[in-house]
Structure formats: structure tokens, C-alpha cells
Amino acid sequence: MAVYTEVSLDEASTFLTSLKLGNLQTLEGCSGGIENTNYFVTTDQAPYVLTLFERLSAEQLPFYLRLMKHLAFHGIPVPDPAANRDGDVLHSLNGKPAAVVNRLKGKSELAPGVDHCRQVGAMLARMHLAGRDFSMQQPNLRALPWWNETVPVVLPHLEPAQAQLLQAELAYQNHVASQSAYTALPRGAIHADLFRDNVMFDTVDGVPTLSGFFDFYFAGTDAWLFDLAVCLNDWCIDLPTGAADLERSAAFVDAYASVRPLTPQERELLPAMLRAGALRFWISRLWDWHLPREASMLQAHDPTHFERVLRQRVAYPLTLQQLHNADALPA
Ligand SMILES: Nc1ncnc2c1ncn2[C@@H]1O[C@H](COP(=O)(O)OP(=O)(O)OP(=O)(O)O)[C@@H](O)[C@H]1O
Ligand SMILES: N[C@@H](CCO)C(=O)O
């Protein structure tokens, strides 16, 4: 259940009218999601999603909402936050920060094939390029400094072999981050959490067609390659084992590179960033699992999944040369 703050028909109607989004027709609490209160609403103009932010601070929200607005303006299919007459996209409803965005068509594809990966890869690159002239900056709040802070907190909860892997990987990532190749990685606004459940596909003429990226609430400014690695670790693996699926990985990377060719440093650091992406979600899942926040509404995800992914990425580093048509990738 993802309605933590009730909104009545009258309250929603007044709110939507004030944003000039039309006359309310339906209001339905959305059962998906665990972070925010979401309502699907329809007016005589269009279908929308009304979100009341339960945990994110009003300090961080403008970055996420402005980024979505910027990307939507540049033709990337992402929810476009509605602005009031002063141009503000962050509103307030029933004591909570709130936003209204257009509702994306379709549904998530939780068992993606090669063609889904191709579409997401190409759109990810388009999104990175579209973010180049976004003027706001916010660090990725789940990056190396947070890993260094959080690893000591979760360590006491681990088995010795897990603790050893976690510490060794953190040391390795600190080393990678000190290298000149890492500093030279192109950077910009990244989604940072573009898993299968944060992308929609709609069926157009019988063909599954990407209809949007959403849930930008871990977005930040970071290496584009990290975003690509996070995606490969979710879209292009065998979920039960965490092993890379080479065909889907090649499709994803080729499609990405056909829009934005990878730099030599990105090609070099792909295996290291795949490990970084696995480490990031292993740490956050361990943190949510072992240290649930008081009155938390989060249902923690299984941390051992990302331990498996990390072990796979360490044991079998995925290089571009391994991908079937890696030679054809632009350098
Ligand atoms: N703009 C949108 N268009 C269509 N559906 C949406 C949109 N935003 C959210 N949804 C739907 O609402 C569900 C919950 O949204 P979202 O994932 O953003 O919630 P959340 O509470 O932030 O949760 P979590 O981080 O757990 O995924 C999504 O799975 C999706 O089905
Ligand atoms: N995608 C994250 C959850 C946060 O949205 C995970 O699978 O751990």
C-alpha cells in the first residue's frame, strides 16, 4: 500500500485546478512504490500522477523535479512536473511536499529481452546528453563518501567472508577513484537507479516501445559510466545467479555507444564501475536490512542478491572486448 497521506477528492480537485490541469474525474491510490504516497488522477485534460513526498527533503526535491522538467523539455520521455503560475514545480499538499506529473503509458518489463535493453541503452545515452546543459548540481548522495560512511555501520552484521569482501571492494573502489582515468570520466546528471521497475514500455502496433524513465529520486551528478553500470547490473544479468547475460549486455552497450561513443577511460573502467554499481546496492540493501529506520515504510530488498552480483563481477570482469561486436564499438 502506498498511500500514507490521505488526499480527499475535494483537496485533489482544488489542487489540480490551481495548477490549471483541468477538472478532476478520478482519484485512485496507487498500490506500487514504498517511498512516497502516489495517486493516479485523471482530469478532463489528461492522466497524471500526484505524489506526496514522505521522506525526501524539500532541499533535495528541486534538483530531481527540475531535472525531470529539463529532460522532458529536451524530448526525453520522463514525467514532466507541472508548474504553477510562478514556475514552481514543488508544491505542498496536506503538509507534505507534493508534485504532479504526467502519467507514462504502459508498464514495466520485468523480464527484458535484447530489444528492451537496446531501447533503454539508447535512451540512457540520449538522457545523459540532454542533461549536459542542466544548470543545477547535486552530488550522487549514494556515492563513495556514503559507502565509506556506511560500510563500518553494516560490517558488524556480516559473516566474516562477507565482511572481508565488502572491505576489500571498498578499498578497491577508493583506489579506483584516485586514478586519473576515473577523474577523466565524463560526468553529468545521472538517474543512478534505473532498474527494470523504473522504466515503462507501451505496446505500439504490437511492439513493446519504451515509454519512459521515472523515479528520479536517487538522481545526482556523477560519472555517466556509473549509470550505465547500474543498468547493466540489473537489465543484463540472470537474476537468480547474478551472472552477466552477454547478449543483453552487448545490445545495451552497443545501443548506448551508438548515441554517445564511450571514451577510452570509460572502456578501461567498465569492469571497475560494474563492481562499483554492485557494491553501491549491496551496501544500501545491507543498510536497509540491518538498520531499518524507525517507523520506516521500506520493505527491504534482499542484500545477498547484490553480494552475488558483486562476486560475479569480481570473478568474471566484463570487458568490452568480450561483448560479441565490441570491435565495432566506436572508441
Ligand atoms: N509518472 C508515472 N507514470 C506512470 N506510472 C507511474 C508514474 N510514477 C509512478 N508510477 C507508478 O507508481 C508506482 C510507484 O512509483 P515509484 O516507483 O515512483 O514509487 P516510490 O514510492 O518512489 O517507490 P519505490 O522507490 O519503492 O519504487 C510505479 O511502480 C509505477 O507503476
Ligand atoms: N533499486 C533499488 C531500490 C531503491 O529504489 C534496489 O533494488 O535496491
Q: Supply the ipTM of this predicted assembly.
A: 0.95
Distance 194 CA to ligand 2 centre (A): 9
CB 173 within 8 A of CB 275: yes
For a mutational test of ligand 1's pocket, the pick from 215, 216, 296, i.e. the residue with the most ligand atoms closer than 8 A to its C-beta, is: 215
DSSP 8-state class, residue 294: T
User: Atom 2 of ligand 2 has which residue's CA nearest to it?
Assistant: 193
**What is the CA(47)–ligand 2 centre distance, in A?**
26
| Site residues for ligand 1, CB cut-off 6 Å | 2, 30, 32-36, 38, 49, 79, 101, 103-104, 197, 214-215, 217
CATH of segment(s) 114-328: 3.90.1200.10
Compute, in degrees rounded to 10, the torsion defined by CA atoms 281, 282, 284, 290. 160
pLDDT by 10s per residue, the chain, length 331: 467 899 999 999 999 999 999 999 999 998 766 678 999 999 999 999 999 998 888 889 999 999 999 999 999 999 999 999 999 999 999 999 999 999 999 999 999 999 999 999 999 999 999 999 999 999 999 999 999 999 999 999 999 999 999 999 999 999 999 999 999 999 999 999 999 999 999 999 999 999 999 999 999 999 999 999 999 999 999 999 999 999 999 999 999 999 999 999 999 999 999 999 999 999 999 999 998 775 556 678 999 999 999 999 999 999 998 886 544 445 4
Q: C-alpha 267: how far from its chain's center? A: 22
Residues with CB under 6 A from ligand 2: 193, 195, 281, 284-285, 301
Contact 255, 149 (CB under 8 A): no
- The total of other beta-carbon atoms located within 10 Å of residue 6's CB is 11
Give CA–CA dist 139/235, Å, rounded. Answer: 24
Smallest CA-to-CA distance from 39 within 3, 13, 68 is with 3
Q: Ligand 1 centroid vs 181 CA: distance in angstroms?
A: 36
Domain ranges of the chain: 9-102, 114-328
Pairing of strands 187-190, 220-223: antiparallel
Q: Whose CA is nearest to atom 27 of ligand 1?
A: 33
pTM here is 0.95
Atom 1 of ligand 2: nearest residue by CA position: 193
How close is the Cα of 214 to the center of ligand 1, in Å?
Answer: 7
Q: Which top CATH class is 9-102?
A: alpha beta
